Amino acid sequence: MAFNQSEKNEIEKIVKSEIKSFLDSQTVKQFENKMLELISKEIERGKLEKNVRDLIAKSMKDFYEYLWMNRSVWESKIKK
Do 7 and 31 belong together in one domain? yes
Do 37 and 64 belong together in one domain? no
Do 31 and 65 belong together in one domain? no
Do 56 and 74 belong together in one domain? yes
Instruction: Return the pLDDT at 12.
Output: 83
Closest residue by Cα to residue 31 from 17, 45, 43, 20: 20
Instruction: Return the pLDDT at 7.
Output: 82
Could you give the CA distance from residue 53 to residue 5 in angstroms, rounded to a whole number?
Answer: 42
Do 62 and 40 belong together in one domain? no
Do 17 and 41 belong together in one domain? yes
First vs last C-alpha separation in the chain: 52
pLDDT digits (tens, 9 = 90+) for 9-68: 888 888 777 766 666 666 667 777 877 887 788 777 776 777 778 888 888 898 888 888
Cα-based angle 78, 79, 80 (whole degrees, multiple of 5): 95
> Helices 47-69 and 71-78, interaxial angle, to 10°?
70
- This prediction has a pTM of 0.39
Residue 34 domain boundaries:
1-45
Do 60 and 39 belong together in one domain? no
Instruction: Count Cβ atoms within 10 A of the Cβ of residue 16 and give its class: 0-12 exposed, 13-18 middle, 19 or more buried.
Output: middle
The pLDDT-based confidence of 69 (bands split at 50, 70, 90) is confident
Number of domains in the chain: 2
The pLDDT-based confidence of 1 (bands split at 50, 70, 90) is low
Do 5 and 41 belong together in one domain? yes
Instruction: Return the pLDDT at 77.
Output: 74
